[in-house]
Amino acid sequence: MTLAAKPLAGVTVLELGTLIAGPFCTRILGEFGARVIKIESPDGGDPLRQWRKMYEGTSLWWYVQARNKESLTVNLKHPEGLEIVRKLVREADILVENFRPGVLEKLGLGWEVLSELNPGLVMARLSGFGQTGPYRDQPGFGAIGESMGGLRYVTGFADRPPVKTGVSIGDSIAALWAALGAMMALRHREVNGGRGQVVDVALYEAVFAMMESLVPEFDVFGFVRERTGNVMPGITPSNTHTTRDGRHVIVGANGDAIFQRLMRALDRPDLAEDPSLATNAGRDARATELYELIGAWVANHEMEVVLQVLKRAGVPASHIYSVGDMFADPQFEAREMLQWAQLPDGKSFRVPGVVPKLGETPGAVQSPGPALGAHTRDILMELGYDEAAIGRLQEQGAV
């Protein structure tokens, strides 16, 4: 089968952002064929280049977050640097930025200016609290969005303070909303003959949008969802249990038929046939009893036995994976979720695969994150600057 061009081939994206939310949004677009030009400060570039585990002076996270991108160094405080950005905007389809609201306006790169340069431009703006409202000017990282959006409040155990997830989930969720919003705006522009528009993503709203039935439950019943540890509140049984060999296994048997299969697998046909446990409401009323029963059975067996028994019974279950478990799992390999790439010195290393899987126009990892300013000369020449002009810009500190 001959694969078609990638779905975003021909789309040019400018990235004016650092760290996580904005750059993750453009990473997604780049994986599916968009040309992503990342505009970085000549003075060190994106701070993510120096975050977490380093290899030969550069973060391994950087090589993943900036993959498939081109790095253009531009001094946004220099008038010639701003002119370079304006020239790029004229030819771009999407601009993604995650500065605090008002920063680009002070630079003369606000929406009114950019949309006049390019009426078809889609501008995805990610910030802590959005472009409007009384909090718009406050700084807001992903952790603040997770807190204000409700996620932190319900995460953890009831007798302890709230906890964070192990990754910057608020930033990543916002990035997904921004990518989706940019695609909807692009669709409107190209199919409905519309102009470009602003896609305004607030981190706290991105998290808040994922909070399931939180709002109507409070509005109708005054119910405030609290922390419940590993239990899925109101949906029983779904919990994490510890095996005899100290491994952690999640068992999700909250479907009516699945619960019956679980009870039979645990040699409790009486509970499988108990009419008071036939529905979720009945099971939730006896949640403590059921979790004690399941937990005791799991604790009496090795992890492999637990998973084999539950697999035969058709009960969803898994141990809690570490990254080492992922590397050893054939499902990750079969789905190409651990792909090979090369570091600048030629060393091969694994990077996460691409999501989602498109049957006809799949995404791909073409290159790891580039060196700072690696594409500056080529991009400037595309814009009409000759070697002498590029040298002058470098001498002036514009690039």
Residues 232-290 have pLDDT tens digits of: 888 999 999 999 999 999 999 999 999 999 999 999 999 999 999 999 999 999 999 99
> How confident is the model at residue 193, as a pLDDT?
85
Separation of alpha carbons 324 and 280, rounded Å: 35
The fraction of the chain above a pLDDT of 90, given in percent, is 96
CATH class of 238-319: alpha beta
Gyration radius from the chain CA atoms:
25
The answer, yes or no, to whether residue 2 has pLDDT greater than 50, is: no
State the average pLDDT for the chain: 96
Which amino acid does the sequence have at 230?
N
> How confident is the model at residue 65, as a pLDDT?
98
Burial class (CB in 10 A: 0-12, 13-18, 19+), 376: buried
> How confident is the model at residue 233, as a pLDDT?
83
**Residue range 57-77: average pLDDT?**
98
The answer, yes or no, to whether residue 370 has pLDDT greater than 50, is: yes
Residues 26-42 have pLDDT tens digits of: 999 999 999 999 999 99
Query: 22 and 175 in contact (C-beta within 8 Å)?
Result: yes
Phi, psi of 23 (to 5 degrees): -65, -30
At the topology level of CATH, where does 12-210+335-396 sit? Answer: Rossmann fold (3.40.50)
Residues 80-134 have pLDDT tens digits of: 999 999 999 999 999 999 999 999 999 999 999 999 999 999 999 999 999 999 9
Separation of alpha carbons 336 and 344, rounded Å: 22
User: In the chain, what are the domain boundaries?
Assistant: 12-210+335-396, 238-319
Tell me the pLDDT band of 51, cut-offs 50, 70 and 90: very high
Query: 66 and 397 in contact (C-beta within 8 Å)?
Result: no
H or E element at residue 203: helix 203-208
Separation of alpha carbons 239 and 253, rounded Å: 9
Separation of alpha carbons 178 and 96, rounded Å: 8
Separation of alpha carbons 64 and 368, rounded Å: 6
171 belongs to the catalytic site: yes
Of residues 341, 229, 198, the one with CA closest to residue 295:
229
The answer, yes or no, to whether residue 383 has pLDDT greater than 80, is: yes
> How confident is the model at residue 75, as a pLDDT?
97
> How confident is the model at residue 46, as a pLDDT?
97
Instruction: Report angle CA 173, 179, 183 to the nearest 5 degrees.
Output: 145
Residues 325-361 have pLDDT tens digits of: 999 999 999 999 999 999 999 999 999 999 999 999 9
> How confident is the model at residue 3, as a pLDDT?
52
> How confident is the model at residue 5, as a pLDDT?
84
Instruction: Report angle CA 114, 119, 121 to the nearest 5 degrees.
Output: 65
H or E element at residue 248: strand 248-252
> How confident is the model at residue 270, as a pLDDT?
97
Task: From the candidates 137, 171, 329, 345, give the one annotated as an active-site residue.
Answer: 171
Query: 305 and 265 in contact (C-beta within 8 Å)?
Result: no
Residues 149-197 have pLDDT tens digits of: 999 999 999 999 999 999 999 999 999 999 999 999 999 999 988 899 9
